[in-house]
Structure 1
Amino acid sequence: MSHAPTPALPVTFRPGRTRAVLLTLGVAMFVVVTAVALMLERLGPGERASFVFTAALLLGVLVLLSRPKVVADDAGVTVVNITRTRRLAWAEILKVNLRPGDPWVFLDLSDGTSLPVLGIQPGIAKESAIRDARALRALAESRGTGAERTD
């Protein structure tokens, strides 16, 4: 990846198209399943409630899948993945990696571990993910310990 301009802080990176698809699909499924449950005359109240509960459960799963984001501010980065949130100081981030074929960005951290960042994923918006990864890399290089270029 080449060098990118450093964005103004605070900045939030999230897979917008993926999020829109997941939330739209979730709401549509909830509405359709609930409507079917209400229209089927043979169903009793308990069965209807189970249809609605199942639809709500599916919507909940899709909302969780749409949750990932990365928030960068002056003090560091907050990585919000599906069920976990982690706060990092800029100095903890050694490298920002998005290699060809990677499902999302990975951060190489000063403690020797790697953290997946689901908030930047090439999925259905590859160019946007590459641009966001470059911007996050530029921020990490300018604010943290710095990292050499990785592709």
Structure 2
Amino acid sequence: GTFAFFLGMEKDGQPVTDISALNMYSKRAPGKALAMLVLLFSLAGVPPMLGFFAKLGVWQAGVDAGLVWLVVASAVASAIGAYYYLRIVFLMYFGAEGDDRLDEGKSSLLSGFVVASAVIMVVGILNMFGVETAAISAAATLIN
């Protein structure tokens, strides 16, 4: 989803690589900005997003395997990555107004993909609770 958003960043038909183009994007396209907020929070591992539970599961497996040093290194790398993800969110909502505006989404397919990804992220959070029993029974049927 986030990659579809960045692939769709264009100005005058040319790809945009300057992050300042996202300044106050939430005023120009509030739906896509909200979708990106959800996706970037998930990538950063902000609770209660799905990315948090994915990282938590990997870290628990690392601790159980006795690889605490690897879990600590992963947490440090995750914190560094979160800085960059949350910087994009900050610019989209609180960045300085400027003339460096993106073209309005020409590709409705990419825009739809970004929004659909965010919706799946939110629905996944809601459906995650209570799925554990079904997952355990599904795994049991594969073993037997």
Range into which the TM-score falls when normalised by the shorter chain = 0.3 to 0.5
In our comparison, the structure showing a higher alpha carbon Rg is: 1
Name the TM-score, length of structure 1 as normaliser.
Answer: 0.35
Which structure features the higher share of helix residues? Answer: 2
